[in-house]
Structure formats: C-alpha cells, structure tokens
C-alpha cells in the first residue's frame, strides 16, 4: 500500500462509520423517510460523479414522456439561487445549475425544477404542473428523507462500486450494501461492442439478488471532425471518455481539464483563448457549455467552440422499460 493510501485509509474508515450510522438510523426509523403521492424514479450512484447520471435522465425522458406527464427534479448544484426554482425562458446555469439547464434546453416542453428539499420540490411541482404523473429525480440515491418508488443505480464499468472504497481513499460516498435499495443496476460507460463474457464477469462480481435487474449501457457519440487541431476543454468528473473519443480521429488534440462543475474564471478564459490560437476546433461537453453560455467569451473562443452531445444505449432496453411502465401503471391510479 502506498504511503498516501496509508494516510487516507483511517479517514476512509471514519467516513464509512459515519455513513453506516446514518443509514442505520434510517433503517431503524429513528430518522424518518417519507413518501409522496406520485410515482418517483430516482437516478443515482454510490460514488461521487462520473457515472453518467444526466445522460441517463435524458434517456428516461425520451422513453417515458411520450406516455406520461413527466417532470425532472434536481438539486441544482452550484446554482446561485435558493429554494424551489422552476426552469423558464430566463433560466441559466446560474439560476438552476448546469445539468438541469442542459436538460431544460434539450427538452423545453418538460418541466424541470431544482430544490434542495426534494419532498418540498415534488409538492411544488404537483401544484404548478397540471396532471403531473411521474417525477424523475436526478442524483437522489443518497437522499434518504424521500423514499422513492423506483431506484436506478448507476456504476461505471471501469470503476464498479464493488471494487471501490469510501472517500477519501476511494470515490464511494455510500455503503456498497445500499445497492440493495436499487430496483435496477446499470453499468454505464461500457465498451460499445461489449463481449458477453465481459458482461458475465461483471454480473458475477456484482452478484445481484434475483429481484434486481442488471443492464449495460454505452455512450453513443456523434460524428466528429477528423485530422483537425483540437482543444478539449472540460469541467467534468471523468473527461477521459470524451478525450479518447476525440483523439481517435484527431491525434493532434490538446486538453484543458478542470474539476467537476468548475466555475470558469476570467483567468481560465484567458488561458483557453491563448490555447485556442493554435487549434481549429474547441470541443466541450453540453454541461460545460451551459456555464460558458453565462459568460462573455472572446471571438477566438466563440467561433471555434462546439459541444459534443452524447446519448446512452442500453442492453435489454425493453426489459427496463417494461419494469418502469409496470411500476408507474401500478401506482399512478392511486395518486390521481
């Protein structure tokens, strides 16, 4: 074990104790979980960032909105507002956060709201959205005050929660055993042509109980330019997937990587503008672009800046959709 790991291990152990106590208080009903009068689907993970929650929420919107009146509720991380805020034509990443803004821009007809108190947020949505039938909650697996009806747990293929450790030694923010609360487990960011043998290896490692269903999801990228001088600018948890995709067709790719949800400063813009002088294209993620859109950018950046939209493709998609429809249909009539 490395010296750094020896230092972090006790802190990780203490963190795990605190989380276990908290979870135990909820299981003993000393801390109370509450339900709401509408079907709720929570998308989340056990680790910090980087499992693809936002693209998966978008996937659920595409699958469910043709059949039900759907709304999305998020925390709105790093927004500059408080309380319940509904996205409207004046919304920006500053008012609702970058990820909710991304969803709002791509699905303008779908109600998108942010609220730290998820229970209050759902009640506000029910008051403001006529005939609301389903609420999709982004990053709500650890929000124990609300007991959702259907939990979808995401875990990255190259860093399964079963192989991880508590913060700060690893990236886990919750106990591995809490995975049992999930209705479905989705392994995200899988290789596009994942072999059946690799799926079986993951299945064996996770060893899910019979009531949980395992799915595998890969990222679908659009066609990108080739043989260009490219600069990739990101402020996301795991930029490696995007960087590798760009480098496949553009070997002359340079990278400026910032922390997840990074608030770009004037100094950052100066650095990016200088790097932009020697490239043809600047690629960034949709989430990062939501933050760039709130800033005055020099022409050297604006004329070259392009987003790389992504979507998810899921194995046994029909099975997942069937279980979601079954859950919603069994519960929607009780909440009219």
Domains of the chain, residue spans: 40-220+313-335, 230-309
> Which residues have CB under 8 Å from 258's CB, separation 6+?
233, 234, 235, 264, 268
H or E segment and range at residue 218? strand 213-220
CATH of 230-309 among 2.20.28, 2.40.128, 3.40.50, 1.10.3470:
3.40.50
Instruction: Return the pLDDT at 1.
Output: 57
> Which residues have CB under 8 Å from 30's CB, separation 6+?
none
Q: Above 80 in pLDDT, residue 6?
A: no
> Which residues have CB under 8 Å from 38's CB, separation 6+?
122, 126, 132, 133, 134, 135, 335
Q: Above 60 in pLDDT, residue 185?
A: yes
HSE (CB half, 13 Å, CA atoms) of 40?
Answer: 27
Q: Above 50 in pLDDT, residue 22?
A: yes
Instruction: Return the pLDDT at 239.
Output: 92
Q: Above 90 in pLDDT, residue 332?
A: no
What pLDDT, in 10s, does the model give residues 132-154? Answer: 999 999 999 999 999 999 999 99
pLDDT grade, residue 242 (50/70/90)?
very high
Instruction: Return the pLDDT at 141.
Output: 95
pLDDT grade, residue 7 (50/70/90)?
confident
Same topology for domains 40-220+313-335 and 230-309, yes or no?
Answer: yes
- Cβ atoms of 123 and 37 closer than 8 Å: no
- The mean pLDDT value for 219-236 works out to 94
Round to the nearest angstrom and report the end-to-end CA distance of the chain: 57
> Which residues have CB under 8 Å from 191's CB, separation 6+?
157, 198, 218
Q: CA-CA distance, 75 to 96, in Å (whole number)?
A: 8
User: Can you read off the two tokens belonging to residue 135?
Assistant: 């609420």
pLDDT grade, residue 91 (50/70/90)?
very high
- The mean pLDDT value for 181-208 works out to 95
- Cβ atoms of 186 and 154 closer than 8 Å: yes
Question: 99-104 long-range CB contacts below 8 Å, 24 or more apart?
Answer: 99/53, 99/54, 99/74, 99/138, 99/287, 99/290, 100/72, 100/74, 100/76, 100/138, 101/290, 102/54, 102/286, 102/287, 102/290, 103/54, 103/57, 103/58, 103/61, 103/72, 103/74, 103/138
Q: Above 70 in pLDDT, residue 336?
A: no
What pLDDT, in 10s, does the model give residues 48-65? Answer: 978 999 999 999 999 999
Q: 253-257 and 134-138: which strand pairing?
A: unpaired
Q: Above 80 in pLDDT, residue 123?
A: yes
Instruction: Return the pLDDT at 3.
Output: 76
What pLDDT, in 10s, does the model give residues 285-303? Answer: 999 999 999 999 999 999 9
Q: Above 50 in pLDDT, residue 71?
A: yes
What is the pTM for the complete model shown? 0.94
Instruction: Return the pLDDT at 4.
Output: 75
pLDDT grade, residue 8 (50/70/90)?
confident
The pair phi, psi for residue 40, each rounded to 5°, is: -130, 135
H or E segment and range at residue 33? none
Mean pLDDT of the chain: 94
Instruction: Return the pLDDT at 2.
Output: 73
Question: 6-13 long-range CB contacts below 8 Å, 24 or more apart?
Answer: 8/168, 8/169, 9/169, 11/168, 11/169, 12/165, 12/166, 12/167, 12/168, 12/169, 12/170, 13/166
User: Can you read off the two tokens belonging to residue 156?
Assistant: 């990255």
CATH number of 40-220+313-335: 3.40.50.300
pLDDT grade, residue 103 (50/70/90)?
very high
Pairwise pLDDT comparison (18 vs 49), residue with the higher score = 18
- Cβ atoms of 114 and 85 closer than 8 Å: yes
SS3 content of the chain, % helix, strand, coil (to 5): 40, 20, 40
Pairwise pLDDT comparison (237 vs 106), residue with the higher score = 106
- Cβ atoms of 136 and 71 closer than 8 Å: yes
DSSP 129: S
């Amino acid at each position: 074990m490395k010296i750094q790991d020896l230092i972090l291990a006790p802190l990780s152990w203490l963190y795990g104790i605190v989380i276990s106590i908290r979870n135990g208080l909820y299981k003993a009903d000393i801390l109370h979980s509450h339900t709401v009068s509408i079907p709720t689907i929570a998308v989340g993970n056990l680790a910090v960032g980087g499992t693809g929650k936002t693209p998966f929420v978008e996937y659920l919107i595409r699958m469910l909105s043709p059949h039900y009146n759907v709304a999305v509720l998020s925390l709105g991380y790093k927004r500059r507002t408080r309380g319940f805020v509904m996205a409207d034509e004046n919304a920006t990443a500053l008012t609702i956060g970058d990820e909710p803004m991304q969803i709002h821009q791509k699905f303008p007809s779908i109600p998108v709201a942010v609220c730290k108190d998820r229970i209050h947020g759902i009640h506000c949505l029910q008051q403001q959205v006529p005939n609301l039938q389903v609420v999709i909650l982004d990053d709500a697996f650890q929000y124990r005050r609300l007991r959702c009806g259907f939990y979808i747990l995401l875990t990255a293929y190259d860093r399964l929660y079963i192989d991880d450790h508590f913060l700060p030694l690893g990236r886990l923010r919750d106990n591995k055993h809490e995975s049992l609360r999930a209705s479905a487990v989705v392994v995200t960011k899988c290789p596009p042509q994942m072999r059946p043998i690799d799926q079986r290896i993951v299945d064996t490692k996770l060893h899910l109980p019979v009531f949980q269903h395992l799915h595998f999801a890969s990222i679908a990228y659009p066609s990108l330019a080739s043989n260009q001088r490219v600069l990739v600018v990101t402020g996301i948890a795991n930029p490696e997937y995007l960087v590798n995709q760009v480098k496949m067709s553009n070997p002359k790719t340079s990278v400026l990587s910032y922390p997840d949800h990074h608030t770009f400063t004037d100094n950052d813009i100066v650095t990016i503008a200088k790097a932009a002088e020697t490239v043809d294209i600047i690629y960034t993620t949709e989430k990062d672009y939501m933050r760039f859109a709130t800033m005055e950018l020099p022409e050297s950046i604006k004329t070259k800046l392009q987003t790389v939209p992504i979507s998810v493709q899921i194995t046994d998609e029909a099975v997942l959709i069937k279980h979601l429809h079954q859950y919603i249909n069994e519960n929607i009539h009780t909440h009219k």
